[in-house]
Amino acid sequence: MVSKKSLFFSLFILIFILSACNGAAASEKIYNHLEKAVELEQPFEEQQDSIVELEQEEQKVYSQIIDLSMEKFDKIKELSDQALANIEKRKKKINSEKESIAASKEEFTNIEDIIGDLEEEAARKKADEMYNVMMDRYDAYNNLHEAYSNSLALEEELYAMLKKEDLEQKTLSKHITKLNESYQEVIDENEAFNELTTEYNALKQEFYKAAGIEVEYDENAPKEKGSNKDEPKKSEQEEESGE
């Protein structure tokens, strides 16, 4: 079983204290756009706990289903419908996340035309580096969103299968293998996103230092969130064999 991994690192929220350098107007404008971009990601942050809870609920439902015999087929169908409703809720939440990230990107890209106005060369270089990493981070999120959406589609197919009385174990096992592979892709894309988030957070601090902007961390900044997404599915046959 793949070990648990945290999902979605948070951007650091920084509080502006002082700006005292040449090109201060440009650096302050960039600061405002950067921190506004963080604010616009808050809906993204706020969705995480509820998504994890829904993932855990779905995993419990699946475990209940594979513990049932075909004599309890009506119950299997009922639980499958519960799981499908759960998936619909997660679809809505990840779409809200995507909208939040898109708004953040729209705000963040405003700094591109301001970077050249910075008078300090060190600040300009650091701002360019920071900008490129953040744009890579937005691309990484899109990859993560696509991978997660794909896993949800495969989960939908799984529960549609489980509502069929003539479902063969071989067909189920094959689909579960495909679903678990999709979970691994989510983990991989999430790790790439997290790495770029960490890199961006560090570069933003370095830019503020180079631009002469003093900041302090907000003690109420969001914490990283966990996920149950890397919990592999097992078929009834696998459960019995102890795999």
Q: Which residues of the chain have pLDDT under 50?
A: 1-8, 13, 15-23, 219-226, 237, 239-243
Q: Does a structural domain hold residue 181?
A: yes
Q: Does a structural domain hold residue 142?
A: yes
Q: Residue 70 has what pLDDT?
A: 84
Mean pLDDT of the chain: 84
Q: Is the dihedral of CA 151, 153, 159, 161 positive or negative?
A: negative
Q: Does a structural domain hold residue 25?
A: yes
Query: Domain limits at 107?
Result: 11-47+95-112+121-213
Other Cβ atoms within 10 Å of 116 Cβ, number: 10
**How many residues are there in the chain?**
243
Report the distance separating Cα 213 and Cα 16, nearest Å: 7
66-125 pLDDT, tens per residue? 898 888 999 999 999 999 999 999 999 999 999 999 999 999 999 999 999 998 999 999
Report in angstroms the alpha-carbon separations of 201 from 52, 79, 185.
Answer: 24, 43, 24
Q: Determine if the pTM surpasses 0.75.
A: yes
Report the distance separating Cα 102 and Cα 108, nearest Å: 10
Q: Does a structural domain hold residue 195?
A: yes
Q: Residue 238 has what pLDDT?
A: 52
Domain count of the chain? 1
Q: Does a structural domain hold residue 80?
A: no
**In this structure, what CATH number is given to the domain that contains residue 132?**
1.20.120.570
Q: Does a structural domain hold residue 171?
A: yes
Surface-to-core class of residue 38, CB atoms within 10 Å of its CB (0-12 exposed, 13-18 middle, 19+ buried)? buried
Q: Does a structural domain hold residue 170?
A: yes
Q: Does a structural domain hold residue 209?
A: yes
Q: Residue 46 has what pLDDT?
A: 87
